[in-house]
Amino acid sequence: MSETLDTIKQQISENSILLYMKGTPQMPQCGFSAQAVQALMGCGERFAFVNILDNPDIRAELPKYANWPTFPQLWLNGELVGGCDIIVEMYQNGELAPMVKQAAGAAPESSDDA
C-alpha cells in the first residue's frame, strides 16, 4: 500500500468532519469547493480540510480510494457523504446539519488542518 493511501486513511480516521477541497475554507479555489464550505459552515461546527491543490498525491489517489471522481469530498465519521451537489442538497433539505453535529459530538477536538 502506498504512503499516500496511508495518509488518506489516517486523515479520514483522525478527523470526524473532513473536507477534501480545492483551496482553503477562507480562500476556496473553485466554485464547487466554495459552495461545499458555505454549506458546512452553515452547520456551525468546526471541520478539518485538506487542500488537494497543495497535495497532488492525495488529489491523484483519493478518487480511486473513495470511488468518487470529483472534489470536493465530504467525509463524516469515516464515511464518504459525497460531493458539492449532494452536500448542498442535504444542507438545503435539513439533512446535513444533524449529521455534522452528530459527527462533531462523537469526535475528540480536531484541528483546522488535517
Count of structural domains within the chain: 1
pLDDT digits (tens, 9 = 90+) for 27-81: 999 999 999 999 999 999 999 999 999 999 999 999 999 999 999 999 999 999 9
Quick one: what percent of the chain has pLDDT higher than 90? 90
Classify residue 110: in a domain, yes or no.
Answer: no
Classify residue 72: in a domain, yes or no.
Answer: yes
Specify the pLDDT at position 60.
97
Domain CATH code at residue 81: 3.40.30.10
Query: What residue numbers bound the domain in which 30 lies?
Result: 3-105
Is the bond preceding 72 in cis, omega lying within 30 degrees of 0?
yes
Helix axes 96-105, 84-92, angle to 10 degrees: 100
Q: Which three cell numbers stand for residue 17?
A: 468532519
